[in-house]
Amino acid sequence: MEQTLLILKPDATMRRGVGAAVFEQILNALPDAKLKGFLEIAVPSHLAEKHYAVHEGKFFYPWLLQFIQVGNVLATVLEGEDIVARLREVLGATFVEKASPDSLRGKYGIVGGVNVAHASDEPANAEKEIALWQKEAQLDLSQDGFEAINAYIAKWLETPIVATEQIRQICQDYAREYLNRDIYQSEITELLIEECPDWMEAELSTLANAILGNMDLDRDSDR
Ligand code: CDP
Ligand code: MG
């Protein structure tokens, strides 16, 4: 049976309500999927590099390595018929602005490539990625992911998700002139504090920096 690797990126993991909502909606959209393994970790740089090796050399690769290491990620494997394509459909297009408003990236993504989650793009890559995460992160597929994910949902679903639109607006304001970055970073950090109950301000400031960093890619490339 086909498997795929789902990784909630730091923007969804640190915003606990977003992570819980994303898991809940994935379970609802893919009710036949089996969930195998569940892991919350800080991605070590050697794993980040291997996971994103296909993007090495691209203009966004350094940002991507930085972003995935801003905070913890949540990893799990979904198994089911045509699950690779079906999970990507639920997630939506890569860029938040291009993702359908009904998709998870459209709903919860902040801006550009700050887009909630990674999902394998084809079955052969899924196999490679799953093997990598088993080896390098001890993702244990014999563990029932369903139970762990339901516990996560129960714990965090009530956490407020109140900042998405405001942070998007701040990013648009920043991208008009690319000035006063520190001020925009502080404003985003303040908003994240409301949504990220178990992270320190300094950690949230790092996430805010990565969000603006994705906007900087727009300035520095013709993406
Ligand atoms: O994640 P997905 O498979 O949809 O996209 P990808 O092309 O494999 O790119 C990996 C990740 O890099 C994206 O999810 C974005 O977070 C980021 N990215 C970006 O920020 N800017 C780009 N021009 C391309 C990718
Ligand atoms: Mg990809």
CATH code for position 144 = 3.30.70.141
Query: How many Å is the Cα radius of gyration of the chain?
Result: 17
Q: Return the structure tokens found at 6.
A: 């789902």
223 pocket-lining for ligand 1 (C-beta < 6 Å): yes
What's residue 218's pLDDT?
87
148 lies in the same domain as 202: no
The answer on 41 and 82 residing in a single domain is yes
Mind telling me the catalytic residues? 118
Residue 60 is given by DSSP the state T
The low-confidence residues of the chain, meaning pLDDT below 70, are: 222-223
Residues 14 and 46 in one domain: yes
Look up the pTM and report it. 0.97
Same domain, residue pair 25 and 113: yes
Are 185 and 128 part of one and the same domain?
no
Please indicate, yes or no, whether residues 179 and 70 belong to a single structural domain of this protein.
Answer: no
Ligand 1 centroid from CA 182, angstroms: 25
The predicted pLDDT at position 221 comes to 76
The predicted pLDDT at position 222 comes to: 66
The residue segments making up the domain with residue 37 are: 3-156
CA of 8 to the centre of ligand 1 (A): 14
* pLDDT tens for each residue of 65-115: 999 999 999 999 999 999 999 999 999 999 999 999 999 999 999 999 999
Q: Which amino acid is at 87?
A: L
Q: Which of 106, 134, 156 is the last residue of a domain?
A: 156
Residues with CB under 5 A from ligand 2 (ion): 121
Tokens 């970055």 correspond to what residue? 181
Residue 168 and residue 150 in one domain:
no
Q: Are residues 37 and 109 in the same domain?
A: yes
Do both 113 and 213 map to the same domain?
no
Per the CB < 8 A criterion, the answer to whether 76 and 145 are in contact is: yes
Mark whether 104 and 12 lie in a shared domain: yes
**Statement to judge: residues 113 and 205 lie in one domain:** no
In this structure, which residue's CA is closest to atom 16 in ligand 1?
Answer: 113
55 and 37 housed in the same domain: yes
The domain tally of the chain equals 2
Atom 4 of ligand 1: nearest residue by CA position: 94
